[in-house]
Chain A
Amino acid sequence: MPRHIGTVVAVFVLLAACTGDEEPGQSSITVQVSGEREETAVYRAIVQAYENDHPDTQVRLIEVAEKDDHLTKLATSFAGGDPPDVFLVNFREYSQFVARGAIEPYGGFVDDLDVELGDYYPAPLEAFTYNDELQCMPQNISSLVVYYNTDLFEQAGVEPPRAGWTWDDFRAAGEDLTQGDVRGIGVEPSVIRLAPFVWSNGGEIVDDLEAPSTFTLGTPEAREALDFLVSLAHDELIPTEQELAAQDLVTRFITSKVAMLLSSRRETPEFREVRGLNWDVGPLPIADERAGILHSDAYCISSLSGATETAADFVSYATGRQGQSLAALGGRTVPSLMSVSDSGAFLDPTQPPSRSEVFLDGIADLRRTPVIPTWPEIEDLAEEILTRAFYEPGYTIDDAIEALRAETEALFAEGSSQVQ
C-alpha cells in the first residue's frame, strides 16, 4: 500500500509546482475587488491600462462576485497573514480594517505621488479619513436618488420629480402611481435610506458622528421622518412583505411594478440593459433642507503588503484621470475626481438616465453615517427593527425607536471605544 501514498504525495508536489508564474525582475501586486460583471470589467480595464503603462509591474486582479464573499475572503486572508496588496471597500465597512491595523494609510504616499487631493470631492475624502489620516483613496461618490419609471408616470399623469419637491409631493405622487399591482414607491427599511429623511427634517440619526453612543431617533424631527416612511409602508404605497418575498425591489422596478425606487448610482448599468424599460432619475424629496447620503468605495492598501509603494502607485493611477475615466464609462460609478465627473465620460447624454447631473447636484448636501468598526453590525440590527416597523402589525414607531436604542447600545459603546 505505500505505493498509493507515494502517488498521492507525488500528485501534491506536482500540483504545488504548478504555481508561481512570476517572472524575475518584475514587481507584482494583487488587487481584490467585488462587484457585478459590468463593475469588474471596469477594474479589469484599469488593471490592463496600468500594466500597459508600467510594463515591469504585474497586477493580479482577484474578482469576488458578492460583497459578503469579498469581506469573508478579506477577513480570512488577513487573519491568515496573506491579504491582497490592495482591496476595495465601502466607507461603512472600512473602519473595522483600520481598527485592526490592517490598512497602510494612503495619506502617507500622497506627497511622493504628487496627488492633488483638492481635485477630488471632499465628502468621500473626509469619510475615509480616520484618526486624522487619509486611510484609503475613494474612487467614487454617489448620492441617493429617485429612479422613476417614465411610462408609469405618464400613464398616471404624474409630474416627474423636480428639484425641491417636498415629502407631500412625493407621497401624493406615490398615491397616484399606486394602481392595480403597481406600487408607487420602493424604499428599503434601512438606516441608509432613513437617514437622509431624518437629516432633511432637521434631525440627527446619532448623537455624535465621530464617537456615537446611541441612535437619536426619538427627537421630534427624527421621529417625524421615521413616521413618514413607515406610513408609506402602512398605506401600502410600498410593496408589501409578501410581494417583496416574491420579487425584490429592483426586480419589481424592472418589471414596472414599482414606479419610484430610491437607490444610488449602482442600479444604472443594470437598468440600461433592460429592454423596454423607460426610466430616469430625480432628486430626493425634501422636508426643510436638502440632504443626501454618501455612498463611496475606496482602494485601501494592506499594511501587510510587501509592496506598499507599488500598491500606492496603482491606487493613484486607478483614482487618477485615466482610471476614473474608465470607471465613468462603465456607468456604475460617479467618479470622485471632479474633472472626470463633469466630463462626457460620466454625463453621457446618449445613455439613460438623461438627468445624470442629479447625481452631481446632490453632492454638496451629502452627509454620512458614522465610521466605527461595529457600524455594519449596527446597520444589520437596525434593518431588522425597521422591517418590523414597516410590516409588523401592532409594532409601533415608539417600539422601533426604543428597540433601536436598546439593542444597539453595546455595539455603539464597543465601536466608539476603538476610535481615538
Chain B
Amino acid sequence: MKRWARPVGIVIACGLFVLPLLFMLTGAVRLPGLPPPDGFEWLPDQVRWANYSSVFGFVSLWSYIGNSLFVVAIAVPITVLIASWAGFAIATARPRVQKVLIVLSLVALMIPLSALWIPRFVLFKWLGLTDTLVPLIAPALMATTPFYVLIFALVYARIPASLYEAARLEGLSPMAIWRRVAFPLGRAAAFAVAVLAFTWHWANFIDPLIYLSTEDRFTVPLALRALQTLEPTNHPILLAGAVIATVPPVIAFLIVQRTFFSKALEV
C-alpha cells in the first residue's frame, strides 16, 4: 500500500461520518418556516440560535432529559458491574465451561430484540412495572447485551493466568481477585463498555415506546420522534433537538476518552 493511502483513507472515512453531523449543526440554525434547502447548505443566510430554545416549546425536553439521565445513571454502572463479573467468570472458567458460556452468550446475542417485546411486556405487567422507568433499566441487570460480557471476557482472558494463580495462592477469593487484579487491569474495557452502554440506553427507543404512556416519564428518543412529525419547514427545530440530544453522549465520551487512552496504553 502507498504511504499516503492510509491518511487519505482516514480523512475520507472521517468526512463520511462528519458530514451528517455538520448538516445537523448548520440545519439546526436555519430559519424555521422556510422551505427546506435544495441539497446541502453550508451555512444558512440567517443564523437563528433561538431554535434551541424553541425546542423546549415543542416538547418538555428538560423532563425527558432528566428521565434519560436517571436511566443511564443507574443502568450504566449496573451494566459495567454485571458485564464485568460475567466476563470475569467466563475468562477464569475451565476451558470446557468457558466454551459453553461463550456459545451461550453468542446465542443470546443473536436473539432478535423484537422477539422479546411481548414476553417482557407480560413480565413487567405482571410485576406492575409498566409505565415506570424500571423496564428501561432492567436490561442492565443482565449486562444490557451479551456483547459487553464478551468484551470483558476477551480482555480478562488476555491477563496472564499466572497473575490469577498467584492471587489465588495468596488466598484471595474469586471476588477479591476480580476486584484487585482483573478489574483494575482491564479498566479500559470498563470505560469502553460504559460509553457503549451509555449510548445504548440513551438511544433506546423501543422500550420507552412500548412501556411508557405518561408523558412525565418519557425519555429523549420519544421527544425526537415527536419532533420528527413536524412539517419539513420546521425541521430546523428537529435538528436543534437532535443537537441537544447528542450533547450528553458526547460529554460522556469526552470524559471517558482521556482516561481511556491514558489507561489503555498501560495494559
Report B119-152 CB contacts with A as 1/0, cut-off 8 Å.
Answer: 0011001011111111001000100000000000
Band of interface residues on B: 35 or more
Q: In the bound complex, do residue A254 and residue B134 qualify as a contact, i.e. CB atoms below 8 Å apart?
A: no
Q: In the bound complex, do residue B233 and residue A274 qualify as a contact, i.e. CB atoms below 8 Å apart?
A: yes
Q: Which of B1-9, B96-104, B222-230, B250-258 is near enough to bind chain A?
A: B222-230
What separation, in Å, do the CA atoms of A1 and B176 have in the docked complex?
10
What separation, in Å, do the CA atoms of A256 and B233 have in the docked complex?
13
Q: In the bound complex, do residue A84 and residue B213 qualify as a contact, i.e. CB atoms below 8 Å apart?
A: yes
Q: In the bound complex, do residue A16 and residue B128 qualify as a contact, i.e. CB atoms below 8 Å apart?
A: yes
What separation, in Å, do the CA atoms of A81 and B126 have in the docked complex?
10
Given A19-B132, A36-B229, A65-B225, answer yes or no on A251-B121 (Cβ-Cβ < 8 Å). no
Set of chain A residues within 8 Å of B228, measured between Cβ atoms: 65-66
Q: In the bound complex, do residue A76 and residue B121 qualify as a contact, i.e. CB atoms below 8 Å apart?
A: yes
Chain B residue at minimum C-beta to C-beta distance from A272: B231
A399: CB under 8 A from chain B? no
A18: CB under 8 A from chain B? yes
What separation, in Å, do the CA atoms of A256 and B38 have in the docked complex?
12
Q: In the bound complex, do residue B213 and residue A255 qualify as a contact, i.e. CB atoms below 8 Å apart?
A: no
Given A16-B132, A82-B121, answer yes or no on A254-B210 (Cβ-Cβ < 8 Å). no
Q: In the bound complex, do residue A76 and residue B118 qualify as a contact, i.e. CB atoms below 8 Å apart?
A: yes
Report B26-47 CB contacts with A as 1/0, cut-off 8 Å.
Answer: 0000000111101100000000
Report A251-289 CB contacts with B as 1/0, cut-off 8 Å.
Answer: 100111000000000000010011100000000000000
What separation, in Å, do the CA atoms of A37 and B237 have in the docked complex?
13
Set of chain B residues within 8 Å of A79, measured between Cβ atoms: 118, 121-122
Set of chain B residues within 8 Å of A11, measured between Cβ atoms: 74
Report A1-42 CB contacts with B as 1/0, cut-off 8 Å.
Answer: 100100010011001101100000000001010011100000
Report A350-377 CB contacts with B as 1/0, cut-off 8 Å.
Answer: 0000000000000000000000000000
A414: CB under 8 A from chain B? no
Could you tell me the distance in whole angstroms from the C-beta of B241 to the nearest C-beta in chain A? 12
B56: CB under 8 A from chain A? no
Set of chain A residues within 8 Å of B230, measured between Cβ atoms: 36-37
What separation, in Å, do the CA atoms of A8 and B81 have in the docked complex?
12
Q: In the bound complex, do residue A81 and residue B122 qualify as a contact, i.e. CB atoms below 8 Å apart?
A: yes
Other-chain residue from B36, B133, B213 in contact with A32 (beta carbon distance below 8 A): B213
Interface of B is mostly: helix
In B54-109, the 8 Å CB interface with A consists of 58, 74, 78, 81
Could you tell me the distance in whole angstroms from the C-beta of A56 to the nearest C-beta in chain B? 20
A69: CB under 8 A from chain B? yes
Q: In the bound complex, do residue A274 and residue B231 qualify as a contact, i.e. CB atoms below 8 Å apart?
A: yes
Q: In the bound complex, do residue B122 and residue A80 qualify as a contact, i.e. CB atoms below 8 Å apart?
A: yes
Q: In the bound complex, do residue A65 and residue B117 qualify as a contact, i.e. CB atoms below 8 Å apart?
A: no
Report how many residues on chain A are interfacial, defined by Cβ distance under 8 Å.
41
Q: In the bound complex, do residue A65 and residue B215 qualify as a contact, i.e. CB atoms below 8 Å apart?
A: no
Q: In the bound complex, do residue A80 and residue B125 qualify as a contact, i.e. CB atoms below 8 Å apart?
A: yes
In A36-81, the 8 Å CB interface with B consists of 36-37, 60, 62-66, 69, 72-73, 76-77, 79-81
Q: In the bound complex, do residue A62 and residue B232 qualify as a contact, i.e. CB atoms below 8 Å apart?
A: no
Given A16-B128, A37-B226, A76-B121, answer yes or no on A273-B231 (Cβ-Cβ < 8 Å). yes
Set of chain A residues within 8 Å of B162, measured between Cβ atoms: none
Chain A residue at minimum C-beta to C-beta distance from B212: A62
Set of chain B residues within 8 Å of A8, measured between Cβ atoms: 78, 141
B166: CB under 8 A from chain A? no
B262: CB under 8 A from chain A? no
B209: CB under 8 A from chain A? yes
In A174-212, the 8 Å CB interface with B consists of none
Q: In the bound complex, do residue A80 and residue B132 qualify as a contact, i.e. CB atoms below 8 Å apart?
A: no
Set of chain A residues within 8 Å of B131, measured between Cβ atoms: 19
Interface centre among A4, A19, A275 (most CB of B within 10 A): A19
What separation, in Å, do the CA atoms of A19 and B36 have in the docked complex?
43
What separation, in Å, do the CA atoms of A73 and B209 have in the docked complex?
7
Set of chain B residues within 8 Å of A255, measured between Cβ atoms: 35-36, 38
Given A76-B210, A255-B35, answer yes or no on A1-B121 (Cβ-Cβ < 8 Å). no
What separation, in Å, do the CA atoms of A369 and B4 have in the docked complex?
62
A250: CB under 8 A from chain B? yes
Q: In the bound complex, do residue B132 and residue A254 qualify as a contact, i.e. CB atoms below 8 Å apart?
A: no
Report B202-243 CB contacts with A as 1/0, cut-off 8 Å.
Answer: 000010011001110000001001101111111000000000
Could you tell me the distance in whole angstroms from the C-beta of B20 to the nearest C-beta in chain A? 16
What separation, in Å, do the CA atoms of A12 and B228 have in the docked complex?
32
A–B pairs, 11, beta carbons within 8 Å? A15-B137, A16-B132, A19-B131, A60-B214, A73-B210, A76-B210, A251-B36, A270-B231, A273-B231, A274-B35, A275-B233
List 17 additional contacts besides A16-B128, A37-B226, A65-B229; criterion CB under 8 Å.
A15-B137, A19-B131, A35-B229, A36-B230, A37-B229, A64-B209, A69-B225, A72-B209, A73-B209, A81-B122, A81-B125, A82-B121, A246-B38, A247-B36, A255-B35, A273-B33, A273-B233
Q: What are the 6 A-B residue pairs with the smallest beta carbon separation, nearest first?
A: A80-B121, A255-B35, A62-B213, A270-B231, A36-B229, A65-B226
